[in-house]
Amino acid sequence: MKISTKITGLYGAILLVVLLLTSAIMGLGIYFSFYHEAETEIHLAMQNVQKGLASSRSLQEFLVQGDIVPPGVVIRVTDLTGRVIYENDSHYPSLDTVEAHRVKDPPFWAAKDMEVVEFNRFMMYYTSMDVADHGQIYQIHFFRTITAEKNFLVDLQRLLFLITIAGFLVALVAGYFLSNRILQPIRNLTQTARKIEVERMDKRIEVPPAKDEMAELALTFNHMLDRLERGFQQQQRFVSDASHELRTPVTVILGYSDLLARWGSSDAKILEEGISSIRSEAEDMQDLIEKLLFLARADQKRQVLHKENVHLDELVDDAVRKMKLVAKQHTLRLEANEPGIIYADPATMRQMMRIFLENAVKYTPEGGHITVASRRLPEKEAMQLTFSDDGIGIAEEDQGKIFERFYRADSSRTKKAGSVGGTGLGLSIASWIAEQHDIDIAVESEFDKGTKFILTIPLSHDGESHSDA
């Protein structure tokens, strides 16, 4: 069932219930008003009769006074034989007729101490009281018309019912058209969504001029499409770059395998060169695959971090000491290493530091200088860790892209540095690790003059208080 149909049905059902309740309450109110008014006037007439009889010497003297009861109330006085002695309106039915038309089960709103008498064109209340006069018992009968417009009230009820049904039908039709009009932007959104394909994600929903929920929905949908388009483009670029990076070592391995198959068995030099090159390319491929798996786990939020309070100075000292064993053609110096406790995963923190150090070594020519410094920033309650080199630097237009996956500013940078180019994934991994530890990374670089990465690492308050204690 369509939403518009559901809305129309629900709206119509609610309106029908409201109209029926309104009609019922209105009808009951009219009947209660008539009955209550008649009941009140009869009670008032009975009180007047009792007071008048108490002040008169005889029943006959009281009856000739006139204005005995309020207008509209009819009284009839009879003796024990039923003979009428007095009545102020002779047009009312006889007592036998009244008894024959008495309602056995009166409505719940009728007075319990009065009889309801129903005729074809009107209804009335009837009650009686006994009085004694000079040793003889008389009955005073009271009549009051409840409604002389019985047929009118019946017609009014029918009219109210017809108006209710007509209003319900009009509400259904109006609700159907209104719901269709209100839901038209959603249908437009659905049609646009059907037209969007993976190859063409440039279509967007037209945002209505009114600042309502539909406009908010359209904006949200457009923002979602923007994110999907960027994600899909990033995925395409990632797959393309990964395929390119894997194709190169596979091509080299196949080439050397073919070379070994032809001449490896007869030429020891070719055999040694082929095995060495195949091993080198396989190691590069293994490194690339490990980085791809790391990023894949990170994207799927399956990369587990085991955070604890650790001494940053110990991590920095360990990373610099190990890099010195590898970067023997460069001058690597630990300029400052102030103590500080951080809340972090030690393994990924070492990996991040190694990435920045390897990056500095890769893009710094032999004989260049690499400096590491870790200083405390009391005003920020953080540690500042810097990796500086005097290598080839990064052009200003490339600095905002270096953390993108597979991004490498220029192949000439690798040639100037005199080292082998990497995969372009290291800084992406470092950026993810920094993000997981609330670490801010800033880059200062000038082409052909060097690069500095500045990391601001929050201190662990729990660890700090424990250390001070």
The CATH number that applies at residue 283 is: 1.10.287.130
In this structure, the answer to whether residues 316 and 443 fall within a common structural domain is: yes
In this structure, the answer to whether residues 313 and 380 fall within a common structural domain is: yes
pTM over cut 0.95: no
In this structure, the answer to whether residues 464 and 317 fall within a common structural domain is: yes
b/e per residue 324-359 (b: at least 16 CB within 10 A): beebeebebebeebeebbbbbbbebbbbbbbbbbbb
Which CATH number goes with the domain that contains 390? 3.30.565.10
How far apart, in Å, do the first and last CA atoms of the chain sit?
A: 68
Q: Is residue 249 part of a domain?
A: yes
Q: How far apart are CA 334 and CA 374, in angstroms?
A: 9
Domain final position from 139, 157, 175: 157
Domain final position from 246, 281, 299: 299
Q: How far apart are CA 69 and CA 75, in angstroms?
A: 8
3-state secondary structure of 196: coil
Among residues 180, 168, 178, the alpha carbon closest in space to that of 12 is found at 168
Among residues 60, 65, 54, the alpha carbon closest in space to that of 85 is found at 60
**Cβ neighbours of residue 132 under 8 Å, at least 6 residues apart?**
138
* pLDDT tens figures, 363-416: 999 999 999 999 999 888 999 999 999 999 888 888 888 888 777 665 444 444
Domain final position from 242, 271, 299: 299
**Whole-number mean pLDDT of the chain?**
82
Q: Is residue 203 part of a domain?
A: no
Which CATH number goes with the domain that contains 52? 3.30.450
Q: How many CB atoms lie within 10 A of CB 183?
A: 17
In this structure, the answer to whether residues 372 and 269 fall within a common structural domain is: no
* pLDDT tens figures, 122-169: 888 999 998 888 888 999 999 998 876 666 777 877 888 888 888 888
Q: By residue range, what is the domain housing residue 46?
A: 3-157
pLDDT score for 235: 74
Q: How far is CA 313 from CA 53, 191, 360, 396, 434, in A?
A: 115, 59, 20, 32, 17
More confident residue, 312 or 254: 312
In this structure, the answer to whether residues 368 and 461 fall within a common structural domain is: yes
In this structure, the answer to whether residues 371 and 395 fall within a common structural domain is: yes
Q: Are 334 and 326 in contact (CB under 8 A)?
A: no
In this structure, the answer to whether residues 284 and 224 fall within a common structural domain is: yes
pLDDT (mean) for 333-337 = 94
The DSSP result for 290-342, as a single string, is: HHHHHHHHHHTT------EEEEHHHHHHHHHHHHHHH-TTSEEEEEEE---EE
Q: Is residue 407 part of a domain?
A: yes
More confident residue, 443 or 217: 443
Q: How far is CA 275 from CA 251, 270, 283, 284, in A?
A: 15, 9, 12, 14
Count of domains for the chain: 3
pLDDT (mean) for 2-30 = 80
In this structure, the answer to whether residues 219 and 146 fall within a common structural domain is: no
Q: How far apart are CA 147 and CA 238, in angstroms?
A: 89
Instruction: Give counts: helices (H), strands (E), the chain.
Output: 12, 12
Q: How far apart are CA 34 and CA 344, in angstroms?
A: 84
Q: Is 246 exposed, middle or buried (0-12, 13-18, 19+ CB in 10 A)?
A: middle
Q: Is residue 179 part of a domain?
A: no
pLDDT score for 386: 96
Q: How many CB atoms lie within 10 A of CB 392?
A: 25
- Dihedral sign, CA of 28, 33, 39, 40? positive
Helices (H), 327-457: 346-362, 411-417, 426-436
* pLDDT tens figures, 246-305: 776 788 888 878 888 887 777 788 888 888 888 877 877 887 788 778 877 877 778 888
The Cβ-side half-sphere exposure at 12, using a 13 Å CA radius, reads: 21
In this structure, the answer to whether residues 260 and 350 fall within a common structural domain is: no
Helices (H), 56-149: 59-63, 95-100
